[in-house]
Amino acid sequence: MPDITMPKMGFDMQEGTIVRWLKQPGDEVRRGEPIAEIETDKVTIEIEAFAAGTLTEIVVREGQTAPVNAVIARLAGDDGAAVSAPQSATPAMIAPATTPVAPVQALPEVAPATAGDTDVKASPLARRLARDNQVDLRQVHGTGPAGRIVKEDVEAYLAARGAAPPPVIPAPVSPPPAPVSPPPMPVSPPPAAPVAAAGAPAVVPTPPPAAAPVSHSVVPLTNMRKTITRRMSQSWQQAPHIFVSLDVDMGAALAIRAQANEGRAREEQFSLNDMVLKASAAALMSFPHLNASYGDEGIILHPAVHISIAVALDGGLMAPVITNCQDRSLGAIARETKRVVALAREGKITPDLLQGGTFTVSNLGMYGITEFTSIITPPQAASLAVGAVRRVPAFKDETDEVVARHTMTMTLSADHRVTDGAEVARFLGAVRQLLEQPLALLVG
């Protein structure tokens, strides 16, 4: 019978973890039907069957990790005969029938999903959260598109149910030291009694009770968190960071955004962050060293601007890429941003949407953060951190009159091997000019 192998979902993918099997041994499988959810170091995604038949064996169980091309399951035809692998299949997708099962790294067992959960529409993140907390998804009300259950629905169910806290693992505690007898203490003899001999036994005090064991919980690292740890550590250790901040008057941008979005459908509206993306792309065309990478043979200048946008997810961070921002209109950038962010949050994003970024924009303004610095995503040379728009007192036109101004702080992190502080300052000045005179962003 043919082998179903761990697919290679990206150029640098080395292994994948089975999050959930959508089919069980004995189940019929149609060609192109999702059979499992796998987690790579970047995404959680469904994999499909390459042929119709019956799933006969699951080799790699839920929660286990296997390298690329390792056998994870086996499939047979409807009559029990082996299904021939398609001739056009690449080695990355189908392993030969005689390929032995590759050893897999065993991870802690996870609670299996109930049979009814398979028919419930739910995002991969919601299924994982439900499985980790023994939640029957049939009892959860979905608020996503077409009643799909999303992560927030499971969290609301857990809050209403009063989910038990995760078990704690007691840390090993060293045994208390053996009590040591103190030196003999001088004792006053009673009247008319002889002095005690020098070798008389001393009184040993009762030892104090042992300290209570200290408890803590351990959260296993996901593949995504391992990748974030590795790449951010690499960037911080290898790239000398410089940080430059600049305040922007966002009054005109707020006004023109409100005017332009009036009467538009929600999916056609653009945000202040979309305006930052458009302004950054336009400015980068004049500052190629900030749209670059450091290489062993020199500085690599990228002709197109592909902006990675940081998206916070459960257990990590993902940065889908908006390609060719220098050629996109503000509306096109807004539509593409909505699309890739939705894919990332629903666990449907594909690896090709996470590759090729040349510059990063990270915005924490929605959390009320006014200013922060970001670590550069390798091999990029710069990352722009955007804070919240806030009302601050300011002098009007260099007079003594104080007015309220809508201010936003931008901080650029740059690789000092590729650029210098003066160039970073000029770039931020160009972005500020575009945001303070935003009409060019609408017509550009």
259-291: per-residue pLDDT in tens? Answer: 999 988 888 899 999 999 999 999 999 999 999
* 235-443 classified as CATH 3.30.559.10: yes
Catalytic residue list: 416
Looking at per-residue pLDDT, the higher value among 93 and 223 belongs to 223
Of all residues in the chain, the percent with pLDDT exceeding 70 is 77
Sorted by sequence, the CB contacts under 8 Å of residue 275 that are 6+ apart come out as 253, 257, 330, 435, 438, 441
368-399: per-residue pLDDT in tens? Answer: 999 999 999 999 999 999 999 999 998 887 77
Q: Cα torsion for 253, 259, 262, 265, to the nearest 10°?
A: -40
User: Within 162-295, where are the H helices?
Assistant: 223-238, 251-261, 272-284
Q: For the chain, give every domain's residue range.
A: 1-110, 112-165, 235-443
186-231: per-residue pLDDT in tens? Answer: 545 555 545 445 555 556 667 766 666 678 888 888 777 888 888 8
Q: Are 1-110 and 235-443 equal in CATH topology?
A: no
CA distance 175 to 77: 61
* Listed residue (338, 340, 358) closest to 285, CA to CA: 358
- The pLDDT score that the predictor gives to residue 82 is 47
Answer CATH for 112-165 from 3.40.50.720, 3.30.1330.80, 2.60.120.10, 4.10.320.10 = 4.10.320.10
Read off the pLDDT band of 156 (50, 70, 90).
confident
* 1-110 classified as CATH 2.40.50.100: yes
